[in-house]
């Protein structure tokens, strides 16, 4: 009988709020200018990643393993940008910081899902570069479209499994104290830590996600580049080493701008007290900047992309010349 009463009491006190209040950016000086900056990064990222996706899909010469990975990364960048920044723009334009419970969980899912896909795709691309430098003569027989498709399917499937589990466990939490989320979106950590009932499993999932999609990928990429540098040391000439290293530059830059800002936030939070506004600014930048910069880096540092753009410009110019000639006749 006492256990029944206990169960009834728990059910009565279980609170699922109708709305969450997103309090991120509150009290930050000149925050309107930051919102305007995010507004521009959103449209640059939207256009840039759409262009990269269109470019790879339309050019059959780019239907190779490496560009399948880049396409995957562009799709994840496109998804994360749309999951995150439009809500921030809505907050800025309409001064609306409330989000419904279900919409909050959906926002949490898509933001973490696309970040997870980005992170694991960088690992796949790192090992693509390792095989290209370690076994250049056997590269095309080892890394083919079927293998890359299987690896990328694994990336999406594993990410959806972990993130679905992490987000669904939020539904078991009771929020009887506050519905305020001290972040700039429906962030997992700031939400589960405000729960009134036991959140141990949520804490475990948060740490598991960090290990699987932040620390794990960073270690995997580091190991792959140690292998790459060891292979480069076997090349006798500096010209040969630099030529081989150039094929990795784009990837190294992408890893740096994606993983290190997030990692620095986690390390700072563990080593000293980090001001909430500093955490919010840093993590929002680490989410907004990579999707904007990635397509620019692809185009500027990839010969195939530059050749594709040159062909498009020449084709359009030739079409205009022919049209003018026909008009003059």
CATH of 17-292, one of 1.20.1070.10, 1.10.3720.10, 3.10.105.10, 3.40.50.300: 1.20.1070.10
First to last CA, the chain: 98
Residue 309 backbone phi and psi in degrees, to 5: -65, -40
Supply the pLDDT for residue 322: 64
In DSSP notation, 166-187 reads HHHGGGG----S--EE-SSS--
Per-residue pLDDT tens for 7-18?
A: 434 444 778 899
- Minimal CA–CA distance to 87: which of 215, 200, 183? 183
Sheet with 98-100, strands from edge to edge, namely 98-100, 19-22, 180-181
pLDDT level of residue 6 (50, 70, 90 thresholds)? very low
pLDDT band at 275 (very low <50, low <70, confident <90, very high): low
d(CA 213, CA 112): 10
The vertex-40 CA angle with 34 and 41, nearest 5°, equals 85
More confident residue, 252 or 126: 126
What are residue 197's phi and psi, to 5 degrees?
A: -95, -175
Nearest to 56 by CA among 35, 87, 78, 36: 78
pLDDT in tens, 216-236: 998 999 899 888 888 888 777
Measured between alpha carbons, how far is 17 from 104 in angstroms, rounded to an integer? 11
């Amino acid at each position: 009988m006492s256990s029944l009463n206990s169960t009834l009491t728990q059910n009565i006190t279980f609170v699922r709020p109708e709305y969450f209040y997103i309090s991120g950016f509150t009290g930050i000086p000149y925050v309107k200018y930051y919102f305007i900056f995010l507004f521009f990064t959103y449209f640059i990222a939207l256009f840039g990643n759409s262009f990269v996706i269109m470019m790879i899909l339309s050019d059959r010469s780019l239907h190779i393993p490496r560009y399948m990975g880049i396409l995957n990364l562009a799709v994840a960048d496109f998804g994360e940008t749309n999951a995150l920044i439009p809500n921030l723009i809505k907050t800025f334009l309409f001064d609306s910081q409330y989000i419904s419970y279900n919409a909050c969980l959906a926002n949490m899912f898509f933001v973490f899902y696309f970040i997870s896909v980005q992170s694991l795709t960088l690992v796949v691309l790192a090992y693509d570069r390792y095989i290209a430098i370690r076994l250049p003569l056997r590269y095309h027989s080892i890394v083919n479209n079927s293998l890359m498709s299987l690896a990328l399917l694994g990336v999406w499937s594993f990410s959806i499994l972990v993130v679905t589990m992490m987000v669904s466990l939020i539904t078991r939490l009771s929020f009887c104290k506050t519905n305020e989320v001290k972040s700039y979106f429906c962030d997992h950590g700031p939400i589960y830590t405000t729960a009134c009932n036991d959140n141990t499993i949520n804490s475990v999932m948060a740490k598991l996600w960090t290990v699987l999609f932040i620390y794990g990928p960073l270690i995997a990429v580091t190991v792959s580049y140690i292998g790459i540098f060891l292979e480069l040391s076997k090349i006798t000439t500096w010209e040969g080493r630099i030529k081989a290293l150039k094929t990795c530059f784009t990837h190294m830059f992408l890893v740096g701008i994606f993983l290190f800002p997030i990692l620095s936030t986690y390390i700072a939070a563990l080593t000293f007290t980090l001001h909430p506004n500093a955490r919010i600014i840093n993590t929002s930048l680490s989410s907004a900047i990579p999707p904007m910069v990635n397509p620019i880096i692809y185009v500027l540092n990839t010969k195939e992309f530059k050749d594709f753009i040159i062909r498009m410009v020449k084709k359009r110019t030739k079409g205009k010349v022919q049209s003018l000639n026909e008009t003059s006749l």
